[in-house]
C-alpha cells in the first residue's frame, strides 16, 4: 500500500463539513440533554454525526487528509460496518449484563432495533476520525516508534487465536468473574485471522516495534469515550453500568477502571473493520491506516 502518513507544519483550510459538524453538535447537544421526554433515540445520531464530521475536519486541518477526504464513499461505508460491529458486543452483553438502557422499555423490538442500529453506526467513524486527528496533531506519536517487537509469526498468531477463544469461553461460562475479557478477546481472535487471510493488521507495525498506530487508536478512543460518557449523562434514553467488583469511583456513569476497557476495544474495532472488509474482498486496504500509521 502506498501513500502513508506525511507530516507538515502547513495548516490546511477548514472544510465545510466541519461547519456542518459543529452546527449539528450545537443543535443536538442541548436537545439530548434538555428536551423533555424521550428524545435521545432520534437525536443521538445527528449529534454523533456532528462529532464525526468535526473530528474529520480537524484531521484535515491538521495534515491535509482525512477519512472523508480520502473517500466519501468509504466514509459512508464506515457507518454501515460500524453497526454490526457494535451489535456483536451487545450480543455478548446479553450474557454479561454489564450495561443496560434506561428507556428501552418504551420501544417495540423492531423500533428498538432500528434506532439502536442507527446509533451504533457512528462508533467507527467517531473513533477512527478522532485517532486520525490526534495523530496529525501530535506529529504521528513519534515516541511510540520504537517499542517491543511483536511479530506476525505463526507462534504469535496461533497463541493470540487460542487465547482469544479461551477468553471468550471463560467470559460466557462465568460472566460474573470474567466479564472484562469482552475487551480483548475479539481482537485476539480476529487479528490472527486478518494475518492469515492477508488483510491489514496491526502486527504489520508491531513486528518492527512500531506502536504509533496503536497509540493513535488508544488516544482516539479515550477522547471519544469522554464524549460518549459525558453526553450520555443527561440523555434519555441512556445507558447505565452494572459492573461487578469495580462499580465505584465513577466519571459520569462509567466506573474509572472501566475506561481501561476502551483501549483493547479500539484494537477490536480496527480488527473488526478489516475483517469485514476482507469478507467484502477489500481486506488489504490502507483507508484507515493512512491516517494513523506510516506507509505500508
Look at residue 276 and tell me if it is in a domain: yes
Look at residue 250 and tell me if it is in a domain: yes
Look at residue 235 and tell me if it is in a domain: yes
CA–CA separation, 268 and 264 (whole Å): 6
Average pLDDT of the residues in 144-149: 92
Look at residue 3 and tell me if it is in a domain: no
Look at residue 138 and tell me if it is in a domain: yes
Look at residue 116 and tell me if it is in a domain: yes
Task: Give the structural domain span for 53.
Answer: 16-292
What angle is formed at CA 136 by the lines to CA 76 and CA 265, rounded to 5 degrees? Answer: 60
Please give the pLDDT value at position 10. Answer: 67
**Is a pLDDT exceeding 70 seen at residue 204?**
yes
Q: Report residue 221: phi and psi, to 5°.
A: -70, -35
Q: Report residue 60: phi and psi, to 5°.
A: -65, -40
**Is a pLDDT exceeding 70 seen at residue 6?**
no
Look at residue 147 and tell me if it is in a domain: yes
**Is a pLDDT exceeding 80 seen at residue 261?**
yes
pLDDT in tens, 212-232: 999 999 999 999 999 999 999
Look at residue 5 and tell me if it is in a domain: no
Overall number of domains in the chain? 1
Q: What pTM did the predictor assign?
A: 0.94
Q: How high is the mean pLDDT of the chain?
A: 93
Spatial contact of 32 and 43, defined as CB atoms under 8 Å apart: yes
Spatial contact of 145 and 212, defined as CB atoms under 8 Å apart: yes
Pick from 224, 232, 92, 241: nearest CA to 171? 92
Model confidence at 3, in pLDDT bands (50, 70, 90)? very low
Q: Which helix (H) or strand (E) holds 80?
A: helix 72-96
Amino acid at each position: 500500500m502506498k501513500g502513508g502518513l506525511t507530516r507538515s507544519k502547513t495548516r490546511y483550510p477548514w472544510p465545510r463539513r466541519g461547519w456542518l459538524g459543529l452546527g449539528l453538535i450545537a443543535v443536538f447537544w442541548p436537545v439530548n440533554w434538555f428536551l423533555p421526554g424521550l428524545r435521545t433515540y432520534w437525536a443521538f445520531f445527528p449529534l454523533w454525526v456532528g462529532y464525526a464530521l468535526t473530528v474529520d475536519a480537524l484531521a484535515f486541518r491538521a495534515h491535509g487528509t482525512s477519512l472523508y477526504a480520502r473517500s466519501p464513499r468509504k466514509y459512508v461505508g464506515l457507518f454501515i460496518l460500524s453497526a454490526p460491529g457494535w451489535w456483536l458486543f451487545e450480543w455478548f452483553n446479553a450474557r454479561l449484563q454489564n450495561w443496560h438502557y434506561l428507556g428501552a422499555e418504551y420501544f417495540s423490538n423492531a423500533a428498538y432495533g432500528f434506532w439502536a442500529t442507527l446509533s451504533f453506526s457512528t462508533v467507527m467513524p467517531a473513533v477512527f476520525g478522532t485517532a486520525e486527528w490526534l495523530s496529525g496533531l501530535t506529529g504521528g506519536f513519534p515516541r511510540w516508534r520504537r517499542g517491543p517487537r511483536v511479530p506476525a509469526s505463526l507462534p504469535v498468531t496461533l497463541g493470540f487465536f487460542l487465547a482469544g477463544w479461551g477468553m471468550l469461553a471463560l467470559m460466557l461460562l462465568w460472566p460474573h468473574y470474567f466479564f472484562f475479557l469482552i475487551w480483548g478477546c475479539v481482537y485476539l481472535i480476529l487479528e490472527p485471522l486478518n494475518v492469515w487471510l492477508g488483510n491489514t493488521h496491526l502486527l504489520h507495525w508491531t513486528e518492527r516495534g512500531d506502536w504509533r498506530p496503536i497509540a493513535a487508536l488508544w488516544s482516539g478512543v479515550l477522547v471519544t469515550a469522554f464524549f460518549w460518557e459525558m453526553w450520555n449523562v443527561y440523555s434519555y434514553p441512556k445507558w447505565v453500568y452494572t459492573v461487578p467488583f469495580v462499580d465505584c469511583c465513577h466519571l459520569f456513569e462509567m466506573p474509572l477502571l472501566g475506561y481501561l476497557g476502551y483501549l483493547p476495544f479500539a484494537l477490536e474495532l480496527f480488527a473488526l473493520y478489516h475483517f469485514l472488509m476482507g469478507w467484502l474482498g477489500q481486506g488489504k486496504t490502507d483507508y484507515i491506516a493512512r491516517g494513523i500509521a506510516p506507509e505500508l
